[in-house]
Structure 1
Amino acid sequence: MMDVGGAPAGARGMERRLGLSDAVVIGLGSMVGAGIFAALGPAADAAGSGLLLALGLASVVAYCNATSSARLAALYPESGGTYVYGRERLGEFWGYLAGWAFVVGKTASCAAMALTVGAYLWPGQAHAVAAVVALTAVNYAGVQKSVLLTRIVVCTVLAVLAAVVVAALGSADADAARLGIGPDVTVGGVLQAAGLLFFAFAGYARIATLGEEVRDPARTIPRAIPVALAITLAVYALVAVAVLAVLGPHGLAAATAPLSDAARAAGADWLVPVVRAGGAVAALGALLGLILGVSRTTLAMARDRHLPHALAAVHPRFGVPHRAELAVGAVVVLLAATADVREVIGFSSFGVLAYYAIANASAWTLSAEEGRPNRLVPLTGLAGCAALAFALPLGTVVTGAAVLVAGGVVHGLQRAISPRRTGS
């Protein structure tokens, strides 16, 4: 049963405070983050001179995913994103699997971003843990404070990226010939690179997961998602072209800090510490948005008792799912203290691609009256998600698939023990 605001009856307390610009900023804060500072090197190593092809492929899949998510979010403006869409369109199991993939995969992303903060500023896992604790406290104090901090982060990161682009393209060492496609390009390499780059695009779901805190969500969310994605695509394309122009695909593949190395190669040594600081700020912004999104999906799953029902509580003063935020923060702290950043990034990519595959399958079931996109959009998105997921390194695929199967087993046991337990 739904109330007039779009939230499930009995789940009041989440106030609709976010407008269009706020939603766009949250999406940008989640996408224009540490991924672009870290993912270009591994992607170039996989794709070689086909890096721009991989970026284009990742952007096509991201566009399809965003379009499907936006249409579904307009119809189901609730916290939870594809967990809700899968449940309503495909059945309870598929909604649960989407929520499981999102919470597990994005919790890993939170750890990756926390570790990136530590790597850029103060190497060591203790500082990554401190970053998680601090940002969990910001989220706990209310979503508007999170939006304000995200706005500051987005402006800072965009300024740093703009400085890198100007310095690289204005350098005497910039060479357009380095942008060409050579004989080293393979289909498998481009697909794997696109899967790695997708990690840097996957933040627009954060807008949909905040469905109960956005004003007029049926209009705001479908407008905010494509705007945030379009800005991100433009920024990433400019950055990729600029870095390739000064480093070339092989130099970029060997770079441990691609944007810092590009600034140095362009003769702008003064920019290197600025880029390092920008990378840390970007990771902080991504971590802030990730904690927001994961906690809202946790809230939705807890309402349906797929997770402990106590996590569905909304703070009476701050209007946020405070127990879910604290639980997510605690798990991320544990991962940040024990995990390796390369492992969690690969695992996160697989989970997120599974999540969007279910979003596209859900969008396929929409009728014309419900705002169905062109059938080619969810079909392309579903096929693209599957292709990119299984093009990831074999160890990542095996681990990711095992975790999804484990989630399915848990759901089956829940249903066997208490068949009427779920549902709000």
Structure 2
Amino acid sequence: MDGESLGLTEGVSIALGGMIGGGIFAVLGVVAQITRDAAWFAFVVAGVVALCAAYSYVKLNELSEGQGGSVTFIQCFLENPDLAGMAGWTLLFGYVGSMAMYAYAFGSYTVGFAVVPDAVAGVPMRPVVSVLMVAGFVGLNLLGAQATGATENLLVGVKAAILLTFGVAGIYYGVNTGQIEAGLERIASIQPVMAAGVSFVAFQGWQLLFYSQESFESPMETIRKAVYASVVAAVGIYVLVGITTLSLAPLSVIEQHPERALAVAADPVVPYGFVVISLAALFSTGSALNATLFSAGYFAKGMLSEDLVPDRVGDASADGVPQRILIMLGGVIAAFAAFGSLSAITSFASLTFIVVFGAMSLLALKQRDQPEVNPIPPAIGAVGAGGFFVVMFWHLYSTERHTFYAVLVIALALVAVETLYFKHEALQEEVTTFERLVEPDGWHDEESASVDDLL
């Protein structure tokens, strides 16, 4: 920290910045591919579940006296450090997926400008731009929290003004030309629920605040207000812009370049609409990555202080986020953004937050005997997340088989690594027992590598 605390404005900016960048510019087109003009309703459904999960986080934070987020909640209420560590690693990879998604969209919008070539000397420019964008925001976060908060205020203010202007103007234009479609006939189908699961990553920004409470003045009150305000504001913006975009963007654009659907829809609505919205996309995805990287860094620092990640990752006693954590996160994000597909990145990140938000809702529901906890919101959060998980997996398996297998492989690999790290002592004991059973006396080489050596 730089000695200056962040307030409610910065809190709302960081939370809203983490949501709008993902929901509008990186996810809207993907959601539209599933449910077409009822995409706005998918955001409403996902927003209700996210708001209930947010209530669960707020109450758990109050009961634990502001000790932190998901990992701390598990340690505080379940007293299971291994489970807390595995949840933390899973969530951290979800943040990496989210930030890679923002960087992917940033690169795609950049090469959409006529002055930027798709490739130079045979090298595609989209991955190059995405990697450079990640490097730039890693450098910004290395400057400190106050630089990050001030930048976030500017970025969120610019993109919110542009999106609201486009949304209102688009509705007016669409009504006058008879193009506005709300997709009401699709609301009663399963498609919006599937799309809501995919869009869930668009609501991950608010819980970032719980991992950087040391940066805020009056953290519990400030974060509670910022969380509720940002989720409601995000839903409103998604609905407004979603209806406009899906009414005006050609189906061919949604299918071929879903991340650019909003810019194409804006072209007939406002002068130089494609350019204006593309610039807003750069602000939006940039602020989303900036906000997420800022708080994910504090989240990783908290895990480091609890001995849930290797000591070589950084120094937990350092002011702010250890530089090594930011650089390591930046490297993994850049790799995902450069080599991953938008669909696979989005699906993996959404599934991660569905699991974690649902688990925190269940944990809050277990505290329903506390007078501060109303059991209805946590119950809605838990049931909603469980439903999203099932329908989303079914959707991927039935319509995007290659994405389904990619997500499954990533998830299994992550679980395997987590198990090896947190259960390596138990595994070592099992291996030692097996060796004693099968090896002749005196055969074992004392200089052979142990499980701990390999880890």
Question: Shorter-chain-normalised TM-score: which range?
Answer: 0.7 to 0.9
Residue 443 of structure 2 corresponds to which residue in structure 1? none
2:99 is aligned with 1:96: no
Residue 438 of structure 2 corresponds to which residue in structure 1? none
Match of 1:167 among 154, 160, 169: 169
SS in structure 2 opposite 1:17?
coil
SS in structure 1 opposite 2:146?
helix
> How many Å apart are 1:249 and its aligned residue?
8.2
Residue 391 of structure 2 corresponds to which residue in structure 1? 391
Residue 12 of structure 2 corresponds to which residue in structure 1? 24
Q: Which amino acid aligns with 1:94?
A: L
State how far apart, in whole Å, the 1-side matches of 2:52 and 2:296 are.
Answer: 22
Residue 342 of structure 2 corresponds to which residue in structure 1? 341
Residue 102 of structure 2 corresponds to which residue in structure 1? 113
> How many Å apart are 1:272 and its aligned residue?
1.1
- CA offsets 1:36-57 (integer angstroms, 9 cap, x no match): 1232222122123432332221
Residue 333 of structure 2 corresponds to which residue in structure 1? 332
Residue 115 of structure 2 corresponds to which residue in structure 1? none
> How many Å apart are 1:164 and its aligned residue?
1.4
CA pair 215-199 structure 1, distance change in 2 beyond 3 A: same
State how far apart, in whole Å, the 1-side matches of 2:42 and 2:169 are.
Answer: 24
Residue 189 of structure 2 corresponds to which residue in structure 1? 186
- Are the counterparts in 2 of residues 73 and 211 from structure 1 also a CA contact under 8 Å? no
TM-score by length of 1: 0.86
Residue 84 of structure 1 corresponds to which residue in structure 2? 72
SS in structure 2 opposite 1:215?
coil
Tell which deviates more after alignment, 190-199 or 278-287: 190-199
Q: How does 1:370-385 map to 2 (within 5 A)?
A: 371-372=372-373, 374-385=374-385
- Are the counterparts in 2 of residues 108 and 332 from structure 1 also a CA contact under 8 Å? yes
Please list every run of 5 or more consecutive structure 1 residues that lacks an aligned counterpart in the other structure: 1-12
State how far apart, in whole Å, the 2-side matches of 1:370 and 1:399 are.
Answer: 43
> How many Å apart are 1:262 and its aligned residue?
1.5
Residue 3 of structure 1 corresponds to which residue in structure 2? none
Tell which deviates more after alignment, 384-393 or 359-368: 359-368
> How many Å apart are 1:169 and its aligned residue?
1.6
Q: How does 1:146-165 map to 2 (within 5 A)?
A: 146-165=148-167
- Are the counterparts in 2 of residues 361 and 378 from structure 1 also a CA contact under 8 Å? yes
Match of 1:263 among 247, 266, 272: 266
- Are the counterparts in 1 of residues 249 and 262 from structure 2 also a CA contact under 8 Å? no
- Are the counterparts in 1 of residues 85 and 303 from structure 2 also a CA contact under 8 Å? yes
Q: How does 1:187-266 map to 2 (within 5 A)?
A: 187=190, 189-247=191-249, 256=258, 257-266=260-269
State how far apart, in whole Å, the 2-side matches of 1:70 and 1:401 are.
Answer: 28
Larger radius of gyration: 2
Residue 419 of structure 2 corresponds to which residue in structure 1? 409
Match of 1:52 among 24, 36, 40: 40
- CA offsets 1:220-275 (integer angstroms, 9 cap, x no match): 22222101111111111211222244359898667632211221243x35121010
Alignment root-mean-square deviation, CA:
2.9
State how far apart, in whole Å, the 1-side matches of 2:293 and 2:385 are.
Answer: 23
CA pair 383-250 structure 1, distance change in 2 beyond 3 A: farther
Residue 74 of structure 1 corresponds to which residue in structure 2? 62
TM-score by length of 2: 0.80
State how far apart, in whole Å, the 1-side matches of 2:287 and 2:96 are.
Answer: 15
CA pair 272-403 structure 1, distance change in 2 beyond 3 A: same
Residue 40 of structure 1 corresponds to which residue in structure 2? 28
State how far apart, in whole Å, the 1-side matches of 2:4 and 2:83 are.
Answer: 28
> How many Å apart are 1:79 and its aligned residue?
7.3
State how far apart, in whole Å, the 2-side matches of 1:89 and 1:169 are.
Answer: 47
CA pair 50-163 structure 1, distance change in 2 beyond 3 A: closer
- CA offsets 1:361-412 (integer angstroms, 9 cap, x no match): 221233655732x112112111211221232213166346424532552254
Tell which deviates more after alignment, 129-138 or 89-98: 89-98
Tell which deviates more after alignment, 175-184 or 46-55: 175-184
> How many Å apart are 1:15 and its aligned residue?
5.9
- Are the counterparts in 2 of residues 77 and 212 from structure 1 also a CA contact under 8 Å? no
State how far apart, in whole Å, the 1-side matches of 2:252 and 2:185 are.
Answer: 11
Tell which deviates more after alignment, 242-251 or 137-146: 242-251
SS in structure 1 opposite 2:181?
helix
> How many Å apart are 1:283 and its aligned residue?
0.7
